[in-house]
Amino acid sequence: MENLLNLVGLSKREVDIYTVLVESGELSARELAERLGIPYTKIYTHLEKLHKMGLIAPVGGRRPLKYRATPPAEVYKNLVNRASEILKSLKPLFDSLQLIYESKHATAAPTFLTLIRGAERITDLISEILSVSDGEAYLAVPFPELVTYRLLAIMAEESKRIKIMVLTTEKLRDRFQLPPRVEIRTLPEMFGGGAIGNSVLIYVKYGGEISGVYSNERFIIEIAKTYFHNVWQRAKI
């Protein structure tokens, strides 16, 4: 029980409080403090945390106030639901990491072409492409929600290691406060964007959401580079 509850951020004292309430039934704060040797001035901090997490509940309104443990079966169900939500929230991150792994370790995985949705995941992949690219990287960034401080910091740092060329719109140019070694050119407007390095990400905005495709296919990477350089020649310095 202690190891299980530790996983959700409970201290040993809080685990002990819950266990005593399961075994002994309703107890007051003072009774709990005396049984467990916890200073009375600190017991309420632990009780409040347990209450917020749904592991205990105050009983009635009489004084002294007593506390009752939430049934273990109910606690287990809540923990399963919480763990499931956490794992679901982490899946996009691990999907992105898997794509990066496969692009970096081409011999370990077949060629892939994957659909990517959402500005956050697009930004994460742009950052990863910059971080693992060799020699040079090309970016086309037409949407303001992608120009984050984190991405700019990564661009500035990686530009010490590789050559970075950036295409953006005239409206967004002032947001790219980067060292002179990062080459930046502008266009009046852009339909979509991308990131090209050891892998390629191409994206557009459709229905208010940024979506794109990500691949390590060499042929697609070369097509994207050719198109980028063609647009680059026509862009304003």
Question: What pLDDT is stored for residue 169 in this prediction?
Answer: 96
Residue 175 exposed, middle or buried by CB count within 10 Å (0-12, 13-18, 19+) = middle
Selection from 8, 16, 55 nearest residue 33 by Cα: 16
Q: What is the pLDDT of residues 119-148, one digit of tens each?
A: 999 999 999 999 989 889 999 999 999 999
Type of residue found at 157: E
d(CA 190, CA 210): 14
* Residue 166 to residues 74, 83, 114, 148, Cα–Cα distance (Å): 54, 40, 24, 15
Per-residue confidence (pLDDT) for residue 104, from 0 to 100 = 65
Cα distances from 155 to residues 32, 182, 223, in angstroms, run 55, 8, 23
Pairing of the two strands 200-206 and 192-196:
antiparallel
For residue 217, what pLDDT is reported?
Answer: 87
User: Cβ atoms within 10 A of the Cβ of 204, count?
Assistant: 16
Backbone phi, psi, residue 111, to 5°: -60, 140
- Confidence band for 197, pLDDT divided at 50, 70 and 90: very high
User: What residues have CB less than 8 Å from 48, skipping those under 6 apart?
Assistant: none
pTM for this prediction: 0.57
Note the pLDDT tens digit of each residue in 3-33.
655 566 788 889 899 999 999 989 999 999 9
Taking each helix axis from N to C terminus, what angle separates 40-52 and 12-24, rounded to the nearest 10 degrees? 80
CA distance linking residue 58 with residue 61, whole number of Å:
8
Q: What is the pLDDT of residues 63-82, one digit of tens each?
A: 788 999 999 888 888 877 87
